Amino acid sequence: MKPLSIITLDQISDALDSIDLLGEMRSAFIAYSSGRSVIPPVGELIIDEQPPGEVHIKYGYVRGGAHYVVKIASGFPRNQELGLPPGNGMMILFDVSNGSISSILLDEGQLTDVRTAAAGALASSVLGVPGARVGIIGTGVQARLQAVHHASALDRDDLMVWGRNLGKCSLLASDLEAHGLKVEIAESAEELAERCRTIVTCTASHTPLLTRPMIQPGTHVTAVGSDTPDKQELDPRILGSADLVVVDSLSQGLVRGEVARSIDAGTITPGRVVELGQILDGSNPGRSDPNHCTVADLTGVAVQDLFIAEAVARSLV
């Protein structure tokens, strides 16, 4: 039996610099949509005390692989008022042949944040119109990561941001500019949607921030914030009128995220939804017209956690 490896946050941060994150996410989604992975429903704990919080437990393995993963990730949005990060967590890799623990990754939620951002950038790169300006809706950790990963994946360093809190929006813009990006702050979500053809929503909103009249022809929207049944960033009519609606997991999309809310609203049926892995492996052609509107609703799948955790562990051997 191999010795247990405990991987610290500093080791994880250093390892991420050498990992092809988009490549790992591409492989993860293809494995998922091809039916090679075993991913049970998400475990979820909603803490309805004050201050509120939520805990997600995701787990699974890929047939023929070396490990199964168990990931715990929490979100406490009011932590910032206390000077604490809003997210935390860890990932554990187990030997799939005997159940022994191979690695404990003390990532404090970083791997979840990074794999979410990489998945968002991957979705936008395959579904968006090439050369489109990127607009980020949100002001938190995920907004920053989405901006950085989109700039790298799309090879475009100018973008627009908008958030409901102008102070936080200004701080985000300053941070991104310090990392070499050119950032313009939109005065409203309407302005951002009018001037950007790739839009990323990464908030914890419970009411739509984008409405159908805002969406211009040729727009792609990657929505990553709605990861519980009660969150919502998009008007269901956006999905109802979209030419292509994509999810990371159809089974998850039926119970959480923008697709679930749109099904409930009667604007879309499950038969109109395809998985991202089907586009990545070529079994679905994806966008077929630059004037089409497309939506990617990403709720986060355990296979992403497995692939990024294994990539980190491999890099440290």
Is beta strand 134-137 parallel, antiparallel or unpaired with respect to 273-275?
unpaired
Distance CA 287, CA 163 (A): 28
Kindly indicate the confidence band of residue 1, based on its pLDDT and cuts at 50, 70 and 90: low
- Give the pLDDT of residue 2: 77
263 is a domain residue: yes
pLDDT at 110: 97
- 266 domain-assigned: yes
**Backbone dihedral region for residue 259 (phi beyond 0: left; psi -120 to 50: alpha; all else: beta):** alpha
Burial of 292 (0-12, 13-18, 19+ CB in 10 A): middle
Residue 77's pLDDT is: 86
Q: Which of 147, 119, 117, 142 is nearest to 202 (CA)?
A: 142
DSSP letter string, 157-201: -EEEEE-SSHHHHHHHHHHHHHTT-EEEE-SSHHHHHHH-SEEEE
For the cut 80, the answer to whether the pLDDT of residue 215 exceeds it is yes
| 176/116 Cα distance (integer angstroms) | 18
Over range 232-253, report the average pLDDT: 98
Give catalytic residue positions: 71
Domain ranges, residue 155 = 130-301
144 falls within a domain: yes
Q: Is 149 part of a structural domain of the chain?
A: yes
Question: Can you tell me the distance from the alpha carbon of 67 to that of 109, in angstroms, rounded to the nearest whole number?
Answer: 20
| Residue 284 sits in the same domain as residue 137 | yes
Q: Mean pLDDT in the chain?
A: 96
CATH number at residue 139: 3.40.50.720
pLDDT tens, position by position, 293-307:
999 999 999 999 999
- Is residue 275, in this structure, part of any structural domain at all? yes
185/155 same-domain check: yes
Residue 272 sits in the same domain as residue 251: yes
User: 292 and 310 in one domain?
Assistant: no
Residue 208 contacts residue 233 (beta carbons within 8 Å): yes
Please name the amino acid found at residue 239. L
Number of separate domains in the chain:
2
Residue 280 is assigned to a structural domain of this protein: yes
Among residues 233, 230, 45, 63, the alpha carbon closest in space to that of 146 is found at 233
The whole-number pLDDT of residue 101 equals 97
Residues 10 and 146 in one domain: no
